[in-house]
Structure 1
């Protein structure tokens, strides 16, 4: 009896890999002096945890898969109702692994009602050698809502001597206040290590 993987390799056809399709959504409402989760949805390896429900409410996103690979798709949505206060983060750095073709895709959508306050502070995204990432961030916020947002990228594991890795990045940000576009940014790096070594970009 012929082993199936051996037969597939003999035909020169790469075996299909199972890819993650994960989605996490949460809405928050003010209840007296507290902010609490109102509605939650989670599937495909993304989970919510709430170490402290007060004001602000702490929301922690967990990726049970331990990282993101090429072809994976992750979507995260947070919606804060009027007066809600939330501090959102992740349990660990998000790791973007090597891609054999299709990029990893991460989409984040944040919605803030009047007088809502959000600290969006995920831990850094660590990009490995050969990774390909497309990341999209969209924010819709009321004019009197407040937002502190930090998204950091680390190219390679410096402790392992990976100071100049070859990876691809596409990143798009759109922030609207009262429906008016107030910030737009597009980032494209085709060979991240070589680009970041240039004096006008990262100077190594």
Structure 2
């Protein structure tokens, strides 16, 4: 008599979001046009109609957000004498993790005479979330790079401040192979004394970094300082041909009032991406 098979019922593996998107542009007849486009998984890229000599790419995460174990990879190349502006369809959301961190890796290349504006909308982190994010930029000596990352700790309207969120952010920008900008920021869970410290967040719910690297940086810095003169939670510094603006805000809306005029002043389009205002 045959024995009945024994089936062991275990916990099914959780579904994870994986996405990748790559975009490359080239110069043609004095305009920046699409060269290659690759999409995989929940990573999508859309190219809206442009009304200038630049090309805009909109990044979309169709999974609706990220949690522990999810992976996203974005890469973009602005070929010689082109201008690529990159933004996101909406704010990215990092939800509570049941184990591990959500990982987002961005790789950008800006070739000779080109410009790349990396201007995603804010990242909103929720209680219990974990995020590991890296940005690697390789630019030519005469290229221009404008990069932004903004983090919002919870939803203010819901009374959240994401005290148990963990964030690791790493930037590396190289110019002709030489490291010109490097930073590593880490926000630990439940470390409220550090967040409340006047040298760090000082109780702010939102913070952001704007980095501009170009040969005309010296001519831009005084204008930026004038733009933030009425905002004591923002500061601008210049080292050679690099400008860094850092700011905090009691809310995402408050921080936008500081960041958006700076973006408009530095962006090649002279304004923030249209999706920021929709």
TM-score under structure 2 length normalisation: 0.67
Greater share of residues in helix? 2
1:150 match: secondary structure: strand
C-alpha distance in structure 2 between counterparts of 1:197 and 1:158, whole Å: 17
Number of the residue aligned with 2:216 = none
Number of the residue aligned with 1:201 = 200
C-alpha distance in structure 2 between counterparts of 1:112 and 1:73, whole Å: 24
How far did 1:193 drift?
A: 6.0
Which one of the candidate residues 91, 103, 106 is aligned to 1:105?
Answer: 103
C-alpha distance in structure 1 between counterparts of 2:115 and 2:191, whole Å: 36
Conservation of the 8 A alpha-carbon contact between 1:169 and 1:192:
no
1:196 match: secondary structure: helix
Q: Larger deviation: 52-61 or 35-44?
A: 52-61
Number of the residue aligned with 2:73 = 75
1:154-204 CA distances to partner (integer Å, 9 max, x unpaired)?
111111111352111111110000000011111112226613222321111
Please list every run of at least 4 consecutive aligned residues from structure 1 whose deviation after the TM superposition is greater than 4 angstroms.
none
How far did 1:38 drift?
A: 0.3
Gaps of 5+ in 2: 1-6, 204-278
TM-score under structure 1 length normalisation: 0.91
C-alpha distance in structure 2 between counterparts of 1:108 and 1:196, whole Å: 26
Which one of the candidate residues 170, 173, 188 is aligned to 1:172?
Answer: 170
Give the structure, 1 or 2, with the largest relative contact order (CA under 8 Å, sep 6 or more): 1
Conservation of the 8 A alpha-carbon contact between 2:127 and 2:161:
no
1:117-152 CA distances to partner (integer Å, 9 max, x unpaired)?
111100000001100000000000001000111110
